[in-house]
A = this chain, B = another copy of it.
Amino acid sequence: MIKDDEKTAARQTQKHLFPRSEFDLIRSVRQRAASQSSHASNPQQSLLIQGIGDDAAVIKQHTGRETVVTTDLLVEDIDFRRDSSPPALLGHKALAVSLSDIAAMGARPRFSLLSIGVSLHVWEEESNFVDEFYEGFFNLADRYDVRLIGGDISRTPEKIVIDSIAMGESAAGRSVSRSGAKAGDLIFVTGSLGGAAAGLRLLERGARLGQEHPDEPEWKLVEELILRQLRPEPRVGWGLVLGEEQLASAMIDISDGLSSDLHHLCEESGAGALIETVRLPIDEPVKDLCGRRALDPLLLALHGGEDFELLFTVPPENVANLPTRVDGVSVTRIGEIKEASHGVRIAEGSRVWDLTAQGWQHFTK
């Protein structure tokens, strides 16, 4: 463990030993990205013509394939806080949220571009921030064979901003939109719900990773929930199975919250839905911890957001073909698609009510 004053000394040394321009950073990121293609069997090698180092990246096309592309903007103090997220986890999350979008299309992630803006202060005094950020980014990218092929670097007056772009690929006609759900399709969700939102609440109350609480047996659960918020796992494997095997009729990832994202899916599909509270796969640590902390597990699971699980619909005839687990992650049936006139509703036993979209919005009316 490095103490704070040692850290400061190390940073200052680093500052003087390794002054660098943005071109130095681009050079080192480019080298790191080039090392990503070291696997001879890597299919990207045959697709990528030009990576980092030119005005734009260049990728081969193939008839019968589709390109899937998405972008996510992350802003300091709105989408993340420096004091609660280590830089490496921020790098992880910046990529994870975009890979989650690619997974939600049933596509295979291939490439990434990353724009990052930091203040002069961060650049000069906390140069390890940028390095650790990229390290977290590349660790996740390497796990899914995603190659960094471009990006941009800017200075900002104060706050850090990140824009993460991911590109994927699927066979023609195999990408899964939000709009294909039909009455009678069953609604599934991967993994568990509410953990990321619970983690955010704990962070807001002052909990931090790496705090030591030897007297508190719950601490492992707290850290688990914080990591659900700071280090979401994109469900890349599930997305691929559902897309390639054409099992899902519609899909979306849960970023805003189950209630909002189910509304998005139903709106695009021109359909309604009925989900059952008893079926919701609420994160176990959420159930264990939340009662004692005045948090409602059901509300966190319904409206919390940022779980980055996949919410998808399956025609009844495909349900038997659904795998039990992919990459160790199970799925749970939580309800059924209905006609649009039914609305989006939720049942608890015999009681049924409208499920209003109460997930995350940056700007509300």
Contact = CB atoms under 8 A, between A and B. Distances in A.
A20 B362 CA distance: 11
Contact of A69 (B74, B167, B253): B167
Contacts of A339: none
Nearest to A173: B49
Interface in A189-218: none
Interface stretch (A31-39, A52-60, A222-230): A52-60
Interface string A151-162: 111111111010
A67 B175 CA distance: 19
A274 interface: no
A163 B21 contact: no
Q: How many of chain A's residues touch chain B, expressed as a range?
A: 35 or more
A55, A60, A113, A159 — which one has the most chain B CB atoms within 10 A of its CB?
A55
A255 to B, nearest CB: 9
Contacts of A166: 56
A105 B152 contact: no
Interface stretch (A88-96, A115-123, A135-143, A317-325): A115-123
Nearest to A113: B71
A152 B73 contact: yes
B75 A154 contact: yes
Contacts of A53: 178, 268
Contact of A21 (B123, B149, B168, B363): B363
A104 B55 contact: yes
Which of A22, A56, A161 counts the most B-chain CB atoms under 10 A from its CB? A56
A74 B100 CA distance: 25
Contact of A71 (B60, B115, B155, B268): B115
A71 B175 contact: no
B66 A58 contact: yes
Nearest to A97: B152
Interface stretch (A76-84, A286-294, A295-303): A76-84
Interface in A5-34: 19-25
Q: How many copies does the complex hold?
A: 2
Contact of A365 (B21, B156, B251, B253): B21
A126 interface: no
Nearest to A263: B23
Contact of A54 (B54, B268, B361): B268
B161 A73 contact: yes
Interface in A168-185: 168, 170, 172, 175, 177-179
Given A363-B120, A365-B21, A115 B58 contact: no
A131 interface: no
Given A115-B163, A364-B21, A177 B54 contact: yes
Contacts of A107: 56
Contacts of A71: 113, 115, 150-152, 163, 165
Contacts of A149: 69
21 contacts: A19-B365, A20-B365, A21-B363, A50-B175, A50-B177, A55-B101, A56-B69, A56-B70, A57-B68, A57-B69, A58-B68, A62-B62, A62-B63, A69-B113, A69-B150, A73-B163, A78-B157, A117-B161, A154-B362, A157-B158, A161-B161
